[in-house]
Amino acid sequence: MQNNISIVFLGDIIGKPGRQVCRYFLPQIIDEYSPDAVIANGENLASGFGISRKVSEELFETGVTVFTGGNHSLHVTGAEDWFENEKRVVIPANFTKYIKGSRTAVVKSGNSSIFIACLVGRLFMNQADNPFSCADSLIEEITRTSDVKNPVIIIDFHAEATSEKRALFFSLDGKVTALLGTHTHIPTSDEFVSDRGTAYITDVGMAGAFDSVIGMNPSDSLEAFKTGRKVRLKPSFGTKRRLDGVVIKASGETGRALEIIRFSKFADFPAITPGA
């Protein structure tokens, strides 16, 4: 009997508006796709910057299996101490070794193992170790320690530049099940599965307010762009919300991707009070 794996991956979740739309749609998505794992980028989960124990529990209870991170992973004070013990949250593998936290998570599904990791880019981003050499080391470590011959490997590449994301795809083609881009919050329509069995998309998108500047309050963004001032961006609490994601279908025997399905869901919500 063929052992196929289904994985849901959600784009960057932006603060309370993003968490709300995830809680609304995620049960429907789980019913529709019956995923073996639900992965979400959580680096904007807490007020748009960072991730905390409190807000992550909201979505663990709704069905998220693992959160990946990005350049804002450390924004919440004390997060590192939590990261050190919370195995369902992974920080970028190319963060310096001096930062505490798990670099990979493993989800078991029958006789298959799903390895989950994330990397941050270096073009137009904060300093980090080389994502290309780090990815090679990461895959070698996963292959060496895996309890199955052909594990499913999902990599979230949290990067600004399309060129860097595409280049990493060519470096990892055939070595991972999926390379999924995050960070820009705008879903791209270039999803495909390569001949070597790697699923790819440049950016999955986001969960948050539709009437926003990549999830943030338009008035804050306008002030920053017009004046050049440093402005504390806050999530937009517009009532129209969106949730972007992809579904990866893969072979549990070979670890190769079989299909990638992109989705965007929209709903109107009552106005809510700004906050965490």
**CATH code matching the domain that covers 4-265, chosen among 3.40.220.10, 3.60.21.10, 3.30.1300.10, 1.10.150.80:** 3.60.21.10
Provide the whole-model pTM: 0.95
72 flagged as catalytic: yes
pLDDT at 276 over 60: no
Cβ–Cβ under 8 Å, residues 193 and 172: no
Which whole number is the average pLDDT over 59-66? 96
User: Which one from 72, 158, 183, 185 is the annotated catalytic residue?
Assistant: 72
pLDDT digits (tens, 9 = 90+) for 98-142: 999 999 999 999 889 999 999 999 999 988 999 999 999 999 999
Give the phi and the psi of residue 29 in degrees, each rounded to 5: -65, -40
Q: For Cα atoms 75, 181, 219, give the angle at the middle one, nearest 5 degrees.
A: 55
Lowest mean pLDDT among 2-6, 57-61, 171-175: 2-6
Q: How far apart are CA 218 and CA 151, in angstroms?
A: 43
